[in-house]
Structure 1
Amino acid sequence: MAPQRFHEQFDHIQRSMPGTALAMGPDDTGHFLYERGVVLARDGEEARVVEDTVRAHFTETAGLVPDQVRREGPQTNRTGVTRIRIGDPAEGDDTVPHALRALREAEGRHGRRLVSRNHVVHIAVNACPGDEPVPVARTRRANPAVAEDRYGEESAEGRGSPVEVLVIDTGLVHDHAAYPPLAHTTGDVQPAETDADGVLRQYVGHGTFIAGILAAVAPRTEVTVRNTLSDAGAILESEFGARLFEAVDDGGWPDIISLSAGTTTEGITDGLIGLDAFMAELREQRTLLVAAAGNNSSHAPFWPAAYTGVPAYRDSVLSVGALSADGTCEACFSNHGPWVQVFAPGERLTSALTGFDRPVPYVYQHSTYEACRFDYDYACTCQFPRHTGALSESRENTGAKPHQVMFDGLAQWSGTSFATPVVAGLVAAHMTAYGERDPRAARDALLAAATGSAEVRGARVPVLRPPTWRPAAVVDPAVPV
């Protein structure tokens, strides 16, 4: 993990949520972010147990008055989750860890987890220490390049309607349709792409970049992008489940959901209470959730990708890790472990970003490192291309100015965020090629037919590489493109 990078991102996310007090946990080690002074419980009897237990504990031990433990928001909702406020986080220490400890005995009596923190769910190059985009000349081709119709007319019969992929991310940039592969992509437009000085805001273009990868790997696919994570690519768990329901209600359950966001939690077997209802409904649909494994270079489960390790949801979710730029091993930043089902190219991919109608300036927020922050020995994205970021603490010692570049359409970017649409696209392409209408069956067939593998931390894991993907070189943003 990179503590400096995590603290930089914590400050960035906190500024995007001015009315919400955030904290790092556990013990300031940077594993996840959560809302101070709030816990989550399931509606009904469990919420009452949590409220009563916490109120009794804090009245006796912390001197809180009873109305300082209170439910917030509607008592029942589709997500089945209740927010419970514990005191005022502005008045002192965070009360959430104490509340969790107070509830352990009650959880033991009920035989299940009753309460959790209200985690911050974030895109997988956000609170995770992934890199930032690098400009690429329009004359260079995308990587993966746009696939031709490799299957011919003989496979057209029985295809039926196009495969539908829903991208849950930041919205589309205003000029995305100027990139031919995205001319027919639909969805939400990203609000406020630039700041008051006309500089591109951080993570704008993330959803567009993902849509571009999907359009390259599976050109016949119908891609819709939802602007669910527009605020610094982050959202509270208590709100995320409702936003997911809104996304599928808007156009119906798609064949595939591509989700490049998540969070770790305090327990290695704990999912997200805020997603309980959504995951239960997903399980009953035919939709396949393809989810990023995260960029912490850790084996700690990153949810919702880690639902692949929960038997009840394993069939509903496909978790994706990232390969290095040469495709021979895992990328230094990629999470790993038995819950990561497949790896795909995810370092230095090239896709659409923004600036098609006019160049847009961007100022780097984070600095590169002298050595890989995860102790890998290849030319990874931790080190190259070199740049100095505006948020970096290291600037205080050197006085260096943050590095500015201009985007003119295409970019190179790294993260499990982008390995995810590679795999989602391959599943969609398989469905199109063979007239398969069940995305979960297509997933199974694709993995069964996979001939590639890589060694990741001593284990052999399946690898999927699009036919049009090529090993990538470093692009230097200091060199005009």
Structure 2
Amino acid sequence: MTLDRQARLERLLARHRDAVLSEGPNGTSALHRKDQLLVAARHADRAHAAVERFTERRDDLLEVGVTRLHLRPGAGVEPLELLGQLRTHSDGPMAVSLNHLLRGEPNYDGGPYGLPKPCAPMPKPTAVDTSARRVFAGVIDTGIVSHPWFTGSDWFAQVSPDQLDPIPAEVDYELETQTGHGTFVAGTLLRQAPTAFLMIERALGDDGVGDELELLRALSRLRSRLSSSEETLDVLNLSLGGYTVDDEPSPLLAEALGRFGKQTVIVVAAGNSGSNRPFWPATLKSCVAVGALETDGARRAEFSNHGWWVDACSVGANVCGPFIDDGHEFFGFAEWSGTSFAAPRVAGAIAGFAASKHLSAVEAAESLLDTASRQCHPDFGVVVE
């Protein structure tokens, strides 16, 4: 492990004292909240009864449909062992997961690859086709900041304080901070789909770290907003994710994403570890997993994950977009690299095509991701410009 990777890991664990790095059965590792199991509410009583002797307390989170079981410290049992027992229980399998950490960068040594760098100001995206329909796009990330690209729009007027990106007093991109990540992602999507009405939710802290439960909460809030407005979400962008200890998907996250229905296209960053290891939730069949290309749009970026599960790819290296204005280095725009920024290019392309052609997002995605008529990379999916 390089010093940089070690420093990132140590700083993350120092800030998140309830986090632990565990090794799985295949020799792989993943970060998760220590001594926490997440269980679908419908299985909560059975799960609690099955592991009660190891349990310190339970939190029934009715608004999310999940129960969190806190295991007793020093209970003498591995959470992964309990996970396997509950998923294969003799009375019937249960939907249960460790509370894995998720990041705007996939790992403590991941990305967005490299540091953001200042770039020249860019013109605000404007719609050329005034007849284009309004599309609705969800962005769950670190939140956003007020930016000239956003202010004055009807969607930004609905952004609440809880959906803003908290800017820490000291910003150290060398080790942990991802302040501005959500702003960059939202702006990248808007460049492709200027008519989009963005619905922002925050699941990651200013260090770019969250966990499965926080993502489940953000998804629940977004569904509630959609229900209240009676709108249909065309596209959901998740420039975040992580690995699981056993390389298996979380059934809770799969169910939560499935509740948006087949009319919503869910686009997820494939991760920045240069690996073909399954990265979640991108690897879910219900999601469009997006890898990153170099600036020439022809070659896979070295940092980008790849594999049979990657559906699409777009430029993710040296992307320019809206950023924070810190008054001395960044004046509202930056250049950054990562699958985090390839994903909203694809999400925006789908939303923009749906808007201009008056198609559903699903129809637009089927057209743009048609492997028979589009350029494809082996283990890297369809090229989306």
Larger Rg: 1
User: Which one of the candidate residues 375, 379, 385 is aligned to 1:453?
Assistant: 375
Q: 2:220 maps to which residue?
A: 245
Over 6 Å off, 4+ runs: 27-30, 198-201
1:75-133 residue CA offsets vs partner (Å, 9 max, x unmatched): x6243322222221xx58773244346x17x7163564654322112213653512244
2:110 aligned with 1:190: no
CA drift of 1:182 comes to: 6.1
1:140-151 correspondence runs (5 A) = 141=122, 146=125, 149=128
What is the identity, as a one-letter code, of the residue corresponding to 1:242? R
Q: Is contact 2:125–2:190 with CA below 8 Å preserved after alignment?
A: yes
Moved more, 420-429 or 254-263: 254-263
What is the identity, as a one-letter code, of the residue corresponding to 1:321? G
C-alpha change, 1:449 and 1:147, in structure 2 (3 Å) is: farther
2:29 aligned with 1:10: no
C-alpha change, 1:452 and 1:191, in structure 2 (3 Å) is: closer
CA drift of 1:341 comes to: 0.6
Moved more, 409-418 or 32-41: 32-41
Q: Is contact 1:262–1:294 with CA below 8 Å preserved after alignment?
A: yes
C-alpha change, 1:13 and 1:251, in structure 2 (3 Å) is: farther
C-alpha change, 1:190 and 1:121, in structure 2 (3 Å) is: same
C-alpha change, 1:243 and 1:148, in structure 2 (3 Å) is: closer
Q: Is contact 2:201–2:218 with CA below 8 Å preserved after alignment?
A: no
What is the identity, as a one-letter code, of the residue corresponding to 1:340? V
SS for the counterpart of 2:259 is: helix
User: Which one of the candidate residues 241, 263, 275 is aligned to 2:242?
Assistant: 263
SS for the counterpart of 1:409 is: strand
Distance, in Å, in 2 between the alignment partners of 1:265 and 1:198 is 29
Q: 1:396 maps to which residue?
A: none
2:82 aligned with 1:99: yes
CA drift of 1:462 comes to: 1.2
Q: Is contact 1:454–1:462 with CA below 8 Å preserved after alignment?
A: yes
Q: Is contact 2:119–2:320 with CA below 8 Å preserved after alignment?
A: no
What is the identity, as a one-letter code, of the residue corresponding to 2:21? A
User: Which one of the candidate residues 63, 87, 97 is aligned to 2:72?
Assistant: 87
2:265 aligned with 1:288: yes
Q: Is contact 1:359–1:408 with CA below 8 Å preserved after alignment?
A: yes
C-alpha change, 1:93 and 1:107, in structure 2 (3 Å) is: closer
Q: 1:379 maps to which residue?
A: none
Q: Is contact 2:35–2:71 with CA below 8 Å preserved after alignment?
A: yes
CA drift of 1:191 comes to: 4.8
1:139-218 correspondence runs (5 A) = 141=122, 146=125, 149=128, 152=129, 156=131, 159-160=132-133, 162-174=134-146, 176-177=147-148, 180=149, 183-184=152-153, 186=156, 187-188=159-160, 190-195=164-169, 202-218=177-193
What is the identity, as a one-letter code, of the residue corresponding to 2:258? A
What is the identity, as a one-letter code, of the residue corresponding to 1:205? G
User: Which one of the candidate residues 48, 54, 60 is aligned to 2:51?
Assistant: 54
User: Which one of the candidate residues 305, 314, 321 is aligned to 2:291?
Assistant: 321
C-alpha change, 1:444 and 1:206, in structure 2 (3 Å) is: same
2:281 aligned with 1:359: no
User: Which one of the candidate residues 26, 36, 58 is aligned to 1:72?
Assistant: 58
| Structure 1 gap ranges (5+) | 56-65, 309-313, 361-405, 466-481
2:366 aligned with 1:444: yes
1:327-364 residue CA offsets vs partner (Å, 9 max, x unmatched): 22211111111211111111110001111xx624xxxx
Aligned residues: 373
Q: 1:109 maps to which residue?
A: 90
User: Which one of the candidate residues 314, 333, 345 is aligned to 2:303?
Assistant: 333
User: Which one of the candidate residues 312, 323, 330 is aligned to 1:342?
Assistant: 312
User: Which one of the candidate residues 117, 133, 138 is aligned to 1:135?
Assistant: 117
Distance, in Å, in 1 between the alignment partners of 2:65 and 2:150 is 39
1:259-310 residue CA offsets vs partner (Å, 9 max, x unmatched): 1111222334x3213324412312x3522111111112222221111112xx
What is the identity, as a one-letter code, of the residue corresponding to 1:123? G
C-alpha change, 1:27 and 1:113, in structure 2 (3 Å) is: same
Q: Is contact 1:40–1:83 with CA below 8 Å preserved after alignment?
A: yes
SS for the counterpart of 2:199 is: strand
User: Which one of the candidate residues 340, 350, 360 is aligned to 1:427?
Assistant: 350
Distance, in Å, in 2 between the alignment partners of 1:265 and 1:5 is 23
Q: Is contact 2:38–2:98 with CA below 8 Å preserved after alignment?
A: yes
* TM-score normalised by L of structure 2: 0.84
Distance, in Å, in 2 between the alignment partners of 1:128 and 1:248 is 32
CA drift of 1:235 comes to: 1.9
What is the identity, as a one-letter code, of the residue corresponding to 2:274? S
SS for the counterpart of 2:283 is: helix
Q: 2:253 maps to which residue?
A: 275
User: Which one of the candidate residues 454, 458, 464 is aligned to 2:384?
Assistant: 464
Identity percentage of aligned residues: 25
Distance, in Å, in 1 between the alignment partners of 2:331 and 2:185 is 17
CA drift of 1:52 comes to: 3.9
| Structure 2 gap ranges (5+) | none
